Structure 1
Amino acid sequence: MSRVESFAMATLRDAEDWIGRTEERWGCLTPELAGMMSAAVSHPLSLPRDTRRGGLLPRLWHWAAFPEFVPLAQLGQDGHPELGDFLPPLAFRRRMWAAGALTFHGSLRIGERLRRKSTIRSVTPKSGATGDMVFVTVDHQVEGETGSFVEERQDIVYLHIPEVFTPPKRLPELENPDFDETVAITEARLFRFSAATFNAHRIHYDLPYAQQVEKYPALVTHGPMQAIMLMETAKRHTGVPPRRFSFRGVHPMFHNHDLRLQGKLAPNGKTMELGTATPEGYLGMTAQAEWD
């Protein structure tokens, strides 16, 4: 019996059967949707963006191009689509996007038809300070009409909901960053980003649910939104979008405090260490941007 088979799961007898499962979807970031994304992530220091058809699709915005049009009856209590179609239905009530890594080949365009092929690479059980968890790693390839494409890895973590919120260990903010910028986080911003990405996960907009069911102290600031803001700062401070980008959530960030965007460019100019930080000085997300 493999370690995966022996791990406690309610509805999945053999999680390894899901490894190699594929899914193909078609999508598009329309000018209207690009405008919604721009309004959701913009702040006073943001770069001007051309959201018209044919304009360059800002990096990471393809995340909004493949909404899941799931009927309300097929949403779970948390607002996520029910598991069991593409992702395995593991016996955990909390599911989050934990980390990711992307490589960009060329530039996608606003309004072009996109094709995404997804493959489940691995299902890995782990135990940590917060208890048992399972990481599901998914590989995506997103292709445009003119040959540009994105290679992406997503790490999704399944967790149990605790009786009380116990924050993870705090990691200190970047030391001597080249920039440290503050972005206001409000309920309206979280709602706009949820709407632009068609994300109904209630921890981002339903305060009673976030506090009473998932035991968070406040609404949770989206991880993908943090990553998009860090990507934009990397481009703004170098003038060139990164070729590769990776990120990892290390501590939940909440709507009752602002978000600090930090970055430090390596002496060779080829890599930049990035992070989102709280006013108190600990990190919510770490990231790295790379240029060839």
Structure 2
Amino acid sequence: MLEEYLRDWRPRPVVEHDSLAPEQSSALANALETSAPVDVLPPLWHWVHFLSWPPHSELGPDGHPLAGDFLPPVPDRRRMFAGGRITITEPLRLGVPAERTTELGGVTVKQGRSGEMAFVTEHREIHQDGRLRITEEVDYAYRSGESDTKNPTRLPPTDFPASDAAWQRRFAGDPTRLFRFSALTANTHRIHYDEPYCREVEAYPGLVVHGPLLVLLMTELAREHGGISEVSYRLRRPVFSGDPVLVCGDEDGAMSVRSDQVAAEASVTFTEPR
């Protein structure tokens, strides 16, 4: 049925501009507890730029905008961040105006455990000083209405998992950090800050840690060991506030976030051979 709603959907490309002012990056650095960039943006830090803040009256019951350039026209739309790929030809420079062009990269309807899912890919290119700096594809999964499968009662993990990965970092997403990341990325989805909504409407056991935050945790760990030119990532299952997870990686660029199961994974290409 989702294919019927999407058959004639052809959104036009959208061009946006951003000054890449350093304040956003400084705020993200504080949220991640790392050093603020001085000249160039680290990989994926452009996610706190090119932000959209629609009027409050244009938000839906879940906190997401009711309409948008690349929001598919399906009824009772529910959205999830699924994965993506990025190539960094040149890093973006702070304080230098940049232009981002976004167009529809593709639409696929698949049958999942909870029913039909529409996977929408946004293709983005970011130029600065007239040169292509970043090529990016971001995948979102959408379902229509309530899921046929409710999340079962879950025993939360009580400790960090063991791993023999060469690179490791522990993380537990508390509500305050989730709130700060929502604000930094203009993400008004209620699953990240409204616990009663999470439990009663989305049937989650608690606040959901942002998928982009999990991806950033992986790339930040990798960045400590070299420059990054490409990243491919996938979100496999949600992580909830307070869950003790381990961010892992090694020299071949295989990164993951895991508790008792793998929640997210990424493949990182370094600018120089390891």
The Cα shift of 1:230 comes to 0.8
Aligned pair in 2 of structure 1 residues 28, 228: CA closer, same or farther (>3 Å)?
Answer: farther
- 1:269 maps to none
- Conserved in 2, the CA contact under 8 Å of 1:18 and 1:120? no
Aligned partner (choices 240, 253, 258) of residue 239 of structure 2: 253
**Residue 71 (structure 2) aligns with:** 87
Q: Does 1:40 align with 2:31?
A: yes
1:144 and 2:144 equivalent? no
| Cα distance in 2 between the residues matched to 1:174 and 1:241 | 27
Residue of structure 1 in register with 2:256 after alignment: 275
| Contact in 1 for aligned 2:257/2:264 (Cα 8 Å) | yes
Instruction: Please list, as runs of the form range in 1=range in 2, the aligned pairs for 1:1-292 lying within 5 A after superposition.
Output: 7-8=1-2, 13-19=4-10, 21-42=12-33, 46=34, 48-50=35-37, 52=38, 55-145=39-129, 147=131, 149-159=133-143, 160-162=145-147, 164-166=150-152, 176-236=164-224, 238=225, 240-266=226-252, 272-278=253-259, 281-292=260-271
- Kindly indicate whether the alpha-carbon contact (under 8 Å) linking 1:174 and 1:262 is maintained by their aligned counterparts in 2: no
SS at match of 1:161: coil
Structure 1 runs not aligned, ≥5 long = 1-6, 168-172, 267-271
Measured in 2, the distance between the counterparts of 1:107 and 1:39 equals 21
Unaligned runs of 5+ in 2: 154-160
The question of whether the paired residues in 1 share the 8 Å contact of 2:11 and 2:69 is answered with no
1:107–1:64 CA distance, 2 compared to 1 (3 A): same
TM-score (norm 2): 0.88
Q: What is the Cα deviation at residue 186 of structure 1? A: 0.6
One-letter code aligned to 1:221: V
Counterpart contact for 1:226–1:276, Cα < 8 Å: yes
Q: CA deviation at 1:261?
A: 0.6
Relative to 1, partners in 2 of residues 1:136 and 1:174: Cα closer, same or farther, differing over 3 Å?
farther
Whole-Å Cα distance in 2 between the matches of residues 229 and 259 of structure 1?
Answer: 11
Identical pairs, percent: 32
Runs of 4+ in 1 over 4 A off after TM superposition: none
| 1:275 alignment partner AA | S
What's the C-alpha RMSD, in Å, of the aligned pairs?
2.2
Aligned partner of residue 288 in structure 1, secondary structure = strand
Using the alignment, how far apart are the partners of 2:238 and 2:112 within structure 1? 17
- Answer whether contact 1:19 1:123 (CA < 8 A) is retained: no
Superposition deviation, residue 87 in structure 1: 2.4
**Counterparts of 2:105 and 2:236 in 1: how far apart (Å)?**
22
